Structure 1
């Protein structure tokens, strides 16, 4: 029989954590859409449409994810997050969708500030 409490091993997931996950997915998809829509097909559109989200996912996995390969401080994580989310917002702006770009940027910034304050408080 296990001696640990059932809630000890489970990480606490709050509403902002769910929002941040959805923002990540939206940013990755946005970079793909931007690559395919903003550049001529087949080349360089396919390369950028697949490469931009792949690079963003790689950066996220290496530095920002909960199981990141490299452990960096909260400020380093924030810089990577700002780079990925800004690239997605700029992509929407370049596609002629300023409302999507601004709303995404504001929601991502507020979520990032909430998360950063939580991490600094721990």
Structure 2
């Protein structure tokens, strides 16, 4: 008989799923912004690929659950605010203020909920 107890599975809640979708939306937004708002082929291609790559790099280094650099909650929040604000500003500059405001509000509320959970842990 095997007496080893299985490791507890991580609980993924609604806010976790929402945050993942917000991350994907922000990355796609930055790509759309780079390709549509700047002259092609240069700097449009550079920014269309570079802006999402920079957001992914920042997120992977500082904000993801398996981040390379372990920083405090406030530094994580700054990275999150930078990426999500860039996406909201991009929508605003593309002439879509409703999308910009809705995204910013949803991201802010989700970030506050997550921040309270991280600080409480």
> TM tier, shorter chain?
over 0.9
Partner of 1:83: 82
Partner of 1:23: 22
Distance of 1:101 and 1:121 partners within structure 2:
30
Gapped runs of 5+ residues in structure 1? none
Partner of 1:45: 44
Partner of 2:5: 4
- Counting only pairs closer than 5 Å after superposition, residues 57-68 of structure 1 correspond to structure 2 as 57-68=56-67
Distance of 1:60 and 1:83 partners within structure 2:
10
Deviating runs (4+, > 3 A) in structure 1?
Answer: none
Q: Aligned pair count?
A: 120
Distance of 1:2 and 1:90 partners within structure 2:
54
Gapped runs of 5+ residues in structure 2? none
TM-score by length of 1: 0.96
CA displacement 1:95-116 (0-9 Å, x = unmatched): 0000000000000000000000
Say what the alpha-carbon RMSD is for the aligned residues.
0.9
